[in-house]
């Protein structure tokens, strides 16, 4: 689908939004006072998620114009094209079918996407079955290492989408892990990462999953070689000598779309799990890239995660626009970014288990929508891709919330919380989860409604410090709640943000599925490498600043 994108700024909805934004002076206190139905009208459900958008900076006119904008840019048609397997990733000429990874095997014929005429669902479930069987063997102890011992630690080696999703979900689903079987993750080419992650591990009980869509990523292949060396060095002292190939076969499996390169690396293709070019790296948690997670939580729980993704896909595909949560949240982000001037967006989980969720979302949102040209190669017509960031509450409250409450910048924020704690604990009479949730509720309330000068004065505050203690309020938040952080709910949350990202990308007319912006740095790193190592010609090709930094490095490197 390569139709020229619609310029959102040329639509009649945009003209309405621009005039609504002019002199826009939101007053959430007043809006709530005047309109007792606001909360109910702006609270939605999607799967198991309850999403309260009533503390957003929108009134009915803005909302109506945003919904019209979605129509005018053709959101529904592009969404349909994605689900159908059309090649909407135009700069790489690829279909975009992460939604097929979570379709049930018995999905009806009209829901089975085709790529080049091929029904992809059979392939998806064939690989899933192999991943599940492998995971069961590891979990049961049937899969043993070179010494016959069972696996105790699975180390995923990958970076970007081949790391962030598995780590985030492994942390989030800690309560579902099998005891006695841990995962660790190596991503960075900083040798510290491999060194510290491997420290204390027993090679005889360690299994590596080399995860790389392309199997050409410098960081991952370097780390995989380091781990291979570590494994062979560690096993060499064993009685009876070491059959290196056999040891690698027992201790290394791979996940990739490039199975030929997996074989070249020395990993038995029998122990490789494939996926396809129509799965973007940052959309691949629910492909075989999740293998380490499947080992940790088991196939049954992973299937629940996939079902959660699918539930949100169905909501996104079928819910009417006015009640479609990813569409609404994506449109609100456009309103904040392009019409109200927000540059960042905070994601604040009130769940320690989601402590890697913001980092995961950074790749999803910023690698997808940080683009300056549209899918037809023309420049974008408005700002794109806000900076996503965040930390779990309550830690963030004692760090950066000051700026969100009283700073000069508009920072829309998503708050995420669960009715049930993963670990219910009492502090004397106090249910600690309730103390935690009180903070979640207090923060969204303070941000929305603030504190006036009169309210500050009424507390007996000295006049000179009244201004410093005023909270303007009208700082927008979305509150997302679910009963528990289950695998299914995690799948729904991730898919929610995937589709928010998609919605924004369509409005902006960009290809949210390529990532050319990471390539130049990779190329230059190859060029700079020899210069660092002392190659005079390569050094001569560098700019003066880079030459000076290399000189500093060479003078100071001691070990
Ligand atoms: O450099 C960016 C990127 O291509 C991401 O999109 C991807 O998730 C990551 O690198 C890792 O790539 P691979 O899985 O091919 O090793």
> If you take atom 10 of ligand 1, which residue's CA is the nearest one?
160
pLDDT band for position 239 (50/70/90)? low
Q: Is 345 a catalytic residue?
A: no
CA of 213 relative to ligand 1 center, distance in Å:
7
- Asked whether residue 479 carries a pLDDT value surpassing 70, the answer given is yes
Distance CA 299, CA 135 (A): 7
Percentage, residues of the chain above pLDDT 70: 99
Q: Which residue pairs from 128-133 have beta carbons closer than 8 angstroms and sit at least 24 positions apart in sequence?
A: 128/288, 130/273, 131/273, 131/288, 131/290, 131/291, 131/294, 131/299, 132/294, 132/299, 132/302
Closest by alpha carbon to 98, among 357, 324, 320, 312? 312
Distance CA 51, CA 481 (A): 6
Best mutation site among 98, 162, 259 for ligand 1, i.e. most ligand atoms within 8 A of its Cβ?
A: 162
Average pLDDT over residues 374-380: 97
pLDDT of residue 92: 97
CA of 272 relative to ligand 1 center, distance in Å:
18
Average pLDDT over residues 249-271: 93
Average pLDDT over residues 199-225: 97
**Is the pLDDT higher at 238 or at 336?**
336
Q: Using CB atoms within 10 A of its CB, is residue 321 exposed (0-12), middle (13-18) or buried (19+)?
A: middle
pLDDT digits (tens, 9 = 90+) for 106-138: 999 999 999 988 889 999 999 999 999 999 999
Question: What integer best gives the mean pLDDT of the chain?
Answer: 97
- Asked whether residue 1 carries a pLDDT value surpassing 60, the answer given is no
Q: Is 451 a catalytic residue?
A: no
CA of 138 relative to ligand 1 center, distance in Å:
27
- HEC states along 304-348? HHHHHHHHHHHHHHHCCHHHCHHHHHHHHHHHHHHHCCCCEEEEE
Average pLDDT over residues 409-430: 97
pLDDT band for position 3 (50/70/90)? confident
**Entry pTM:** 0.97
Closest by alpha carbon to 384, among 375, 373, 399? 373
pLDDT of residue 22: 97
Average pLDDT over residues 88-93: 97
- Asked whether residue 240 carries a pLDDT value surpassing 90, the answer given is no
Residue ranges in 8-96 assigned as alpha helix (H)? 12-21, 28-34, 38-41, 60-72, 75-84
Coil, helix or strand for 151? coil
Based on DSSP, count helices (H) and strands (E) in the chain, helices before strands: 23, 15
User: Residue 331 in contact with residue 503, Cβ under 8 Å?
Assistant: yes
Q: Is 450 in the pocket of ligand 1 (CB under 6 A)?
A: no
- Asked whether residue 428 carries a pLDDT value surpassing 60, the answer given is yes
pLDDT of residue 183: 98
Residue 37 phi, psi dihedral angles, 5° rounding: -90, 0
> If you take atom 16 of ligand 1, which residue's CA is the nearest one?
212
CA of 253 relative to ligand 1 center, distance in Å:
18
pLDDT band for position 2 (50/70/90)? low
pLDDT digits (tens, 9 = 90+) for 487-507: 999 999 999 999 999 999 999
Residue 256 alpha carbon, nearest atom of ligand 1: 14
Query: If you ran DSSP here, which 8-state letter would residue 6 be given?
Result: P
pLDDT digits (tens, 9 = 90+) for 136-152: 999 999 999 999 999 99
pLDDT of residue 117: 87
pLDDT band for position 254 (50/70/90)? very high
pLDDT band for position 313 (50/70/90)? very high
pLDDT digits (tens, 9 = 90+) for 283-293: 999 999 999 99
pLDDT of residue 242: 87
E strands present in 199-351: 206-211, 252-256, 272-274, 344-350
| Residues near 501 by beta carbon (within 8 Å), at least 6 away in sequence | 330, 364, 365, 368, 369, 512
pLDDT band for position 391 (50/70/90)? very high
pLDDT of residue 237: 75
pLDDT digits (tens, 9 = 90+) for 8-57: 999 999 999 999 999 999 999 999 999 999 999 999 999 999 999 999 99
Q: Is 299 in the pocket of ligand 1 (CB under 6 A)?
A: no
Q: Using CB atoms within 10 A of its CB, is residue 269 exposed (0-12), middle (13-18) or buried (19+)?
A: exposed
């Amino acid at each position: 689908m390569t139709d020229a994108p619609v310029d959102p700024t040329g639509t009649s909805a945009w003209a309405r939004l621009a005039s609504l934004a002019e002199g826009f002076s939101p007053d959430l206190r007043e809006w709530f006072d005047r309109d007792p139905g606001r909360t109910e009208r702006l609270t939605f459900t999607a799967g198991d998620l309850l999403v309260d958008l009533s503390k957003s900076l929108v009134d009915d006119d803005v909302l109506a114009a945003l919904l019209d904008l979605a129509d005018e840019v053709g959101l529904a048609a592009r969404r349909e094209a994605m689900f159908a397997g059309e090649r909407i990733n135009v700069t790489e000429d690829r279909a975009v079918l992460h939604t097929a990874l979570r379709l049930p095997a018995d999905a009806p014929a009209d829901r089975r996407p085709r790529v080049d005429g091929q029904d992809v669902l059979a392939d998806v479930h064939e690989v899933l079955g192999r991943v599940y069987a492998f995971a069961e063997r590891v979990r049961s102890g049937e899969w043993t290492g070179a010494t016959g011992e069972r696996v105790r630690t699975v180390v995923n080696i990958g970076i970007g989408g081949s790391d962030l999703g598995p780590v985030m979900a492994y942390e989030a689903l800690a309560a579902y892990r099998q005891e006695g079987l841990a995962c660790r993750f190596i991503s960075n080419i900083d040798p510290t990462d491999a060194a510290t992650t491997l420290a204390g591990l027993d090679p005889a009980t360690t299994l590596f999953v080399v995860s790389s869509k392309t199997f050409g990523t410098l960081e991952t292949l370097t780390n995989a070689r380091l781990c291979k060396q570590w494994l062979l060095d560690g096993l060499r002292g064993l009685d009876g000598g070491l059959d290196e190939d056999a040891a690698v076969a027992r201790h290394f499996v791979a996940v990739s779309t490039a199975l030929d390169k997996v074989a070249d690396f020395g990993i038995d293709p029998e122990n490789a799990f494939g996926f396809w070019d129509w799965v973007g790296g940052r959309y691949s948690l629910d492909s075989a890239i999740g293998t380490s997670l499947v080992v940790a939580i088991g196939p049954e729980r992973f299937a629940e995660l996939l079902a959660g993704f699918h539930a949100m896909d169905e909501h996104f595909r079928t819910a009417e626009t006015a009640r479609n949560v990813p569409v609404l949240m994506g449109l609100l982000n456009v309103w904040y970014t392009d019409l109200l001037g927000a540059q960042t967006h905070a994601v604040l989980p009130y769940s320690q288990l989601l402590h890697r969720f913001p980092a995961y979302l950074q790749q999803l949102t910023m690698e997808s929508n940080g683009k300056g040209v549209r899918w037809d190669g023309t420049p974008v017509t408005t700002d794109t891709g806000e900076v996503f960031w965040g930390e779990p509450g309550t830690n963030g409250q004692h760090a950066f919330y000051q700026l969100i409450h009283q700073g000069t910048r508009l920072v829309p924020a998503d708050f995420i919380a669960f009715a049930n704690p993963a670990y219910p604990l009492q502090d004397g009479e106090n249910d600690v989860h309730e103390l935690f949730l009180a903070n979640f509720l207090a923060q969204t309330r303070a941000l929305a409604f603030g504190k006036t000068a009169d309210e500050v004065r009424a507390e007996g505050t000295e006049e000179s410090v009244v201004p410093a203690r005023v909270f303007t309020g009208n700082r927008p938040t979305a509150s997302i709640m679910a009963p528990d952080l289950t695998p299914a709910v995690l799948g729904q949350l991730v898919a929610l943000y995937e589709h928010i990202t998609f919605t924004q990308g369509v409005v902006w007319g960009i290809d949210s599925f390529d990532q050319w912006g990471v390539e130049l740095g990779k190329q230059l790193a190859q060029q700079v490498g020899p210069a660092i190592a002392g190659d005079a010609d390569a050094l001569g090709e560098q700019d003066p600043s880079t030459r000076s930094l290399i000189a500093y490095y060479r003078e100071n490197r001691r070990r």
